[in-house]
Amino acid sequence: MEVLTDVQPERIAGLRARDEFFWLDLADPSERDLEMLGELLDLHPLALEDTREFGQRPKLDRYPRGVLLVFFSARAPEAGAPLELVEVHLHVSGGFVFSARRGRSGQLEALHAHLAGDGESSEDYLIYRILDALTDALYPVVDAVEGRVDALEQSVLDRARREQLGEIYRLKQEVQALQRRVVPMRDQFGAASTAILGLPGLTHGSREHLRDVGDHLAQVAGELYRQIDDLTALTTTYFSANANRLNRTATRLTVLASFFLIWTLVTSFFGQNFGWLVRHIDSLEAFVLYELLSLVLPTVLAAAYFWRRRADWL
């Protein structure tokens, strides 16, 4: 299969005249490129209009001579960076595949060399390789998100902090944004596979490889659902951990206040002007004896009690 990465009118016209299947993969196509391709590839005006305006939802549009499939992949984020979605517009017919995207796509670019010159595989298999590359790129993204969720959970359990709650909500929004693309692709891929295989002039292999793409989309969608549930549960864990930390702090302050209550009660009692105290505690030795017994004994008893209950309270 011929693989083109720029618009070459004469070469494209020759491939179409010879009815040779080819793949044209364009990054950031210009308006002039799209106008030329509309004529060279005989693209439907509505399909061409959609490719002019990125930011589409996942969808499948059928036309008399082709199919437009708006497909999403993603890039594995760098440390601390948000997820980056990759929107790819695939125009598929019985004689070519034209993919348009914004920016780089390592998965598609790596696939150029593998598919270039491959004339032995069936045409539906070549389309499957393109869709499979975009779908498989989602797995490292899901794994990266899983690592971030695990790290957040460990951090919350170690010590709940206010900034963690914002990070949980931001990560949940990123996962939901990816889920809003993957779930519609999963739901409509059966219809997309039927539409692609039904294109006139498209050669078929002995195996329906496109089913694998549908299975992979279902797996990714299931993982995203689980991660959203994990992040929701982690929000509850954060509030519980924060409440437990506040309770431990309040318990420590209560224990300390209990000791001060004992000491205040004892010292205030010996500060009263009772006749017996005035007549009998008239020396330093007597004062130290009564004061120490009255302070040390209840303090030791309270400390022993709190020490025995430390596992439950602290």
3-state DSSP of 221-256: HHHHHHHHHHHHHHHHHHHHHHHHHHHHHHHHHHHH
Predicted local confidence at residue 314, as pLDDT: 55
| Gyration radius of the chain's alpha carbons | 35
Co-location of 73 and 175 in the same domain: yes
Co-location of 262 and 239 in the same domain: no
Co-location of 238 and 253 in the same domain: no
Q: What is the number of structural domains in the chain?
A: 2
- Maximum Cα–Cα distance across the chain: 124
**Contact criterion met (CB below 8 Å) for 70 and 56:** yes
Q: Which amino acid is at 51?
A: T
Q: What tens-digit pLDDT sequence spans the chain (314 residues)?
A: 788 889 898 999 998 898 889 999 999 899 999 999 999 998 999 999 999 988 889 999 999 889 999 999 998 767 667 788 999 999 999 999 999 998 777 888 888 877 766 665 788 888 999 999 999 999 999 999 999 899 999 988 888 888 888 899 999 999 999 999 999 999 999 999 999 989 988 888 767 888 899 999 999 999 999 999 999 999 988 888 877 777 777 778 888 888 888 888 777 776 666 766 667 677 777 767 777 777 788 888 888 887 887 776 65
Co-location of 272 and 213 in the same domain: no
Co-location of 188 and 304 in the same domain: no
CA distance to 135, 136, 159, 192, 238, per residue, from 129 (Å): 10, 10, 46, 15, 43
Domain end, chosen from 213, 243, 273, is at 243
For residue 283, the 8-state DSSP code is S
Q: Give the domain range for residue 123.
A: 2-243
Co-location of 238 and 267 in the same domain: no
Co-location of 205 and 267 in the same domain: no
Co-location of 256 and 177 in the same domain: no
Co-location of 62 and 162 in the same domain: yes
Domain end, chosen from 243, 267, 302, is at 243
**Contact criterion met (CB below 8 Å) for 131 and 188:** no
Predicted local confidence at residue 204, as pLDDT: 84
CA distance to 2, 11, 42, 95, 199, per residue, from 14 (Å): 12, 5, 14, 12, 21
Residue appearing with tokens 């389309």: 127
Co-location of 277 and 177 in the same domain: no
Co-location of 158 and 256 in the same domain: no
Co-location of 112 and 99 in the same domain: yes
Other CB atoms within 10 A of residue 101 CB: 22
Predicted local confidence at residue 135, as pLDDT: 94
Q: Which residues does 80 contact at the CB level (< 8 Å), separation at least 6?
A: none
Tell me the backbone φ, ψ of residue 236, rounded to 5 degrees.
-65, -40
CA quadruple 21, 22, 23, 28: dihedral positive or negative? negative
CATH code of the domain covering residue 76: 3.30.460.20
Domain end, chosen from 221, 243, 265, is at 243
